[in-house]
Amino acid sequence: MDVSMTLWVVTILGLAALIGADFFIGRKPHDVSVKEAGIWTIVWIVLAGLFGLGLLFFGNSQASGEFFAGYITEKSLSVDNLFVFVLIMAKFAVPSHLQQRVLLVGVVIALVLRTIFIAAGAAIIASFSWVFYIFGAFLIYTAWKLIQEARADEDEEDWEENRLLKTVEKKFGVADRYHGTKLFIVNNGKRVLTPLMVVMLAIGTTDILFALDSIPAIFGLTQDPYIVFTANAFALMGLRQLYFLIGGLLKKLVHLSYGLSVILGFIGVKLVLHALHESGVHVPEISIPVSLAVIGGVLVITTITSLIASKKQAEREAAESVADADGVEKDSVGA
């Protein structure tokens, strides 16, 4: 898709305006209700859908298909990232009314960092086509690793600060408590960070690790930097509301890792096939409609099986609780 500099500028300004509006609406710290989160989640999804349809009408069907495939993939990967966000919020004991501010600024930081990653990835791909082999192999490895972790039932119970964050804290110092929405305060004549600033940086910089699989994944669906950027932007910009909407449902998505591993493995194979094709080897290439069908189908199946498994687990736990209660009651009667 041929994108002019004017379109790039208009798109970036438009996204900046949406971020500004989102910040203005949620500028007052408050506890986000499920209703509010649901309404804004729908708004962001509709905006992404309208953008994709705009690509269809003013661009072409391939660009639109690539956007939707990329957006759905990035959105599904971002849901998995919410698990880590929950751990970070717990680690820093973020007050509930400040969490929406943390996520908003953290997502903006993540978007800036991903833009840098996308620009670097596009430059590398333009110069070295063999990088598709590396991207493909990395995604297949990541898919296998996700399966291994899911089978081992390894749940992260804590989150460790990265080296960059520790360096920042050591250099500037951190206040011992939250001070509303302030990011810096003066303590004993020294300007120090507040815990709110630290957790914002944690959310934003942790996304670098997420980008290591999400950026190669979307480049496996499209090599158009404009589509890669916009798909990432729309997926990230609705992440804050999604956090509050499905926060309580995250633990029920027990098969999410399996679903994501299938998607990443599929895109990895797609990348390898594309690399072989670019090298002159006659191999079939996977089309965007097929990619959309596979990604969408896997997510639907994963969600359904996760909810069924969670329901059965809840029923087993309820039955065990009843049995334990009956046992205690019989022991009391016998005594």
Strand partners, 185: 192
pLDDT in tens, 288-331: 888 889 988 998 898 899 888 888 887 887 787 777 666 656 65
Q: What token pair was written down for 292? A: 């959309």
Top mean pLDDT of 13-17, 117-121, 280-284 is at 13-17
Please state, in angstroms and rounded to a whole number, the distance separating the CA atoms of residues 180 and 69.
40
| DSSP state at residue 183 | S
pLDDT in tens, 196-213: 888 888 887 777 777 777
pLDDT in tens, 101-111: 888 877 787 78
| DSSP state at residue 174 | B
Confidence of residue 250 (pLDDT cuts 50, 70, 90): low
Confidence of residue 13 (pLDDT cuts 50, 70, 90): very high
Q: With contact defined as beta carbons under 8 Å apart, do 196 and 181 qualify?
A: yes
- When pLDDT is averaged across residues 69-93 and rounded to a whole number, the result is 81
Residue spans of alpha helices (H) in the chain? 5-25, 34-58, 61-91, 99-127, 131-151, 163-172, 195-219, 225-237, 239-246, 256-278, 288-334
From residue 189, alpha-carbon distances to 172, 174, 192 in Å are: 13, 13, 9
Residue 190: burial class (beta carbons within 10 Å; 0-12, 13-18, 19+): exposed
324 vs 24: which has the higher pLDDT = 24
From the CB of residue 15, how many other CB atoms can be counted at a distance below 10 Å?
17
pLDDT in tens, 205-243: 777 777 777 888 888 888 899 999 999 889 888 777 788
Percent pLDDT > 90 in the chain is 11
pLDDT at 71: 92
Amino acid identity at 134: I
Cα 161 to the center of its chain, rounded Å: 19
Distance between first and last Cα of the chain: 80
Q: With contact defined as beta carbons under 8 Å apart, do 29 and 180 qualify?
A: yes
